Structure 1
Amino acid sequence: MIIRIDSLTFRYPNGTTALDGVSFSVGAGERVAIVGANGAGKSTLARHLVGIERPASGTIEIDGRRADGLPIAELARTVGFVFQNPDDQLHAASVVKEVGFGPRNLGFPPARRAELVESALRRTGLTQWRDTHPHHLSLGERKRVALASVLAMDTPVVVLDEPTTGQDHASVVLLGNLVDDLAADGRTVLAITHDMDFCVEHFDRVLVLDHGRIAWDGPITGWLAHVAASDDQALELPQLARLGRRLGWEGPVTTVTDFLERLTPESGPAPVTSTVP
């Protein structure tokens, strides 16, 4: 296991308990979506993985080492964190300098650093803006700069905080492909998200937090069935699952292919035709 958390508890100075005995493990190459209502403790949990917050009790192990005592600079070699608000982490005068800061700070050799920077720019669609000041870009583009800066650090764990917020459809597709590629490369991806469609399409496992405790931890299909059978209004089913439910179908619908097959069970998926002349 690359991440192991045992009985993690955290309280803010005002006495609020944000995490209450959280325990779970994540293996290399897993894609885990962390979901839950606002204030459930999702971002607080993520900040523990990079040392921004420190536990009141419990332990965190990352890559076989106790992480709760390591400095942030050391944790950055293993865990890359993309903030929900990119302006919280962007500081350089150009996109290429921003993306190059992490690998340079980690002491990577110049050749490897250049290769990682160019790869990160290409994979996030930012090559044409390499010399642009990040704050001259849109919110969605700045979020991609923040993502590229983490990709360039080549960490085995990548944590994304609300990655699809402020992104257009093309950027969400690009982000989903990146998540799939990272997992295929054996890297672990955790995402805090309210985007249930993105969660279902690109993650294998869901961890649900409720008032600082784990309310559900398991595969996507089991979670969909659980939500569909419950009256919990805090977690909305993805669009296809909601539509299947309205049509009276048994079991959750998870993909477009699944939806089309249920529409035409005898002859297979209906052909997709364009209405554009």
Structure 2
Amino acid sequence: MMLKVEQLTYTYRDGTKALDRISFSVPNHAKVAILGPNGSGKSTLFLHFNGIFLPQEGNVEVLGIPVNKKTEKDLKRKVGLVFQDPDDQVFSSTLWEDVAFGPENLGYSKEEVEHRVERALKAVDMWDYRHKPPYHLSFGQKKRAAIAGILAMDCEIMMLDEPVAYLDPQGQDQLFSLLNELYQQGMSILIATHDVNLACEWADYIILMKDGRVLAQGGTELLVREDLIAQGRLRLPIVAKLFQKLNKDILTLPTTLQEAANRINQWLK
């Protein structure tokens, strides 16, 4: 399994219980969307997967590695996190220095660092900006810069917290085009979001959360179950709402535009 979580509980110092005995597992090489309203525990959960947070109660395994003090450094090599606001992680004087930060701290030689930075920046189409200060970049460019920092460390898993926040439509399309390329190259990708339309179109595995607990896990068909959507304080995908309005005898609602188009074409025939 890529991820295995058993009875994980995490409470902040002010007494807020962010995770409450949650358990789930995720298969290898997946596109995973973790959905839930604000405060459901998505970001806290992410911080356990690369060792920033260690389990207070319960167990977490990532790629078969238990998350603990002995493994936290190794996990940071394997799992990269892109924050919702890239200004929280893109902070060096130049883009080159920022992407080089991770490999340098892992102790790679100068030649290896240079090779990794060049490869990563070219992969996200940011090579021409390598000498620019990050604060001169657009929000979408900063997102790609943060991804380059993860690529430079050869992480096997990439996590993105609310990946489309503050991005315009073109920036969103560019970001997910890049993520799909990385997935095709073998990287596993997790996103935390409350956007059901995005999750339906992109993900192949869904985890629904609320109040620090897991409501359900499985395929995208979970997102057209009205009972789960109501519990999770989410909305049905737009395509599902459209089919509800059609007043046809529909056993299952579509989750993607392509599935909806296929059904409409069948009706027209």
> Fold conserved (TM > 0.5)?
yes
Q: Corresponding residue for 1:40?
A: 40
Looking at structure 2, the residues matched to 141 and 111 of structure 1 have their Cα atoms a distance apart, in angstroms, of 26
| Aligned: 1:239 with 2:238 | yes
Q: Secondary structure at the match of 2:33?
A: strand
Match of 2:265 in 1: 264
CA distance in 2, matches of 1:162, 1:69: 28
User: 1:1-277 alignment to 2 at 5 Å?
Assistant: 1-70=1-70, 72-110=72-110, 112-221=112-221, 223-227=222-226, 231-232=230-231, 234-249=233-248, 250=250, 251-265=252-266
1:159 aligned counterpart, secondary structure? strand
Larger deviation, residues 210-219 vs 85-94: 85-94
SS in 1 for 2:216: strand
Q: CA deviation at 1:8?
A: 0.5
How far apart are 1:34 and its partner, in Å?
Answer: 0.6
Deviation at 1:164, TM superposition (A): 0.8
Relative to structure 1, the CA distance from residue 31 to residue 247 in structure 2 (aligned partners, 3 Å threshold; closer, same or farther) is same
Q: Secondary structure at the match of 1:190?
A: strand
Alpha-carbon RMSD across the aligned residues, in angstroms, is 2.3
Whether contact under 8 Å (2:208, 2:232) holds in the other structure is no
Identity %: 36
Q: What letter matches 1:123 in structure 2?
A: A
Cα separation, 1, equivalents of 2:136 and 2:5: 39
CA offset at residue 214 of structure 1? 0.5
CA contact 2:224–2:255 (8 Å) conserved in 1: no
Q: Retained in 1: the 8 A contact 2:224–2:236?
A: no
Structure 1 residue ranges, 4+ long, deviating more than 4 angstroms after superposition: 109-112
User: Partners in 2 of 1:183 and 1:257 — Cα distance?
Assistant: 20
CA contact under 8 A between 2:19 and 2:212: conserved in structure 1?
A: yes
- Per the TM alignment, residue 229 of structure 1 is displaced from its structure 2 partner at its CA by 7.6
Give the drift of 1:185.
2.9
Q: Structure 1 or 2: larger helix share?
A: 2
Contact conserved, 1:228 with 1:237, CA < 8 A, in 2?
A: no
- In 1, Cα distance between the equivalents of 2:233 and 2:255? 19
C-alpha contact 2:94 2:131 (8 A) present in aligned 1: yes
SS of 2:40's partner is coil
How far, CA to CA, are the matches of 2:228 and 2:39 in structure 1?
24
Mark the CA change 1:118 to 1:238 in structure 2 (over 3 Å): closer, same or farther.
farther
| Mapped partners of 2:171, 2:242: distance in 1 | 25
Aligned partner of residue 54 in structure 1, secondary structure: coil
Aligned-residue offset at 1:35: 0.6
Q: Helix, strand or coil: the match of 2:125?
A: coil
| Structure 2, gaps ≥5 residues long | none
- Contact residue 41 and residue 210 of structure 1 kept, 8 A: yes
Q: Secondary structure at the match of 2:70?
A: coil
**Is the 1:224–1:252 Cα contact (8 Å) retained in structure 2?**
no
Q: Deviations over 1:187-234 (max 9, x none)?
A: 22111012222211221011011111100101012x123137854471
| Alpha-carbon distance change, 230 to 213 in structure 1, aligned in 2, over 3 angstroms | closer
Matched residues in 2 for 1:17 and 1:137: separation? 37
Q: TM-score, normalised by structure 1?
A: 0.86
Kindly indicate whether the alpha-carbon contact (under 8 Å) linking 1:200 and 1:238 is maintained by their aligned counterparts in 2.
yes
In structure 1, distance between residues paired with 2:226 and 2:125: 35
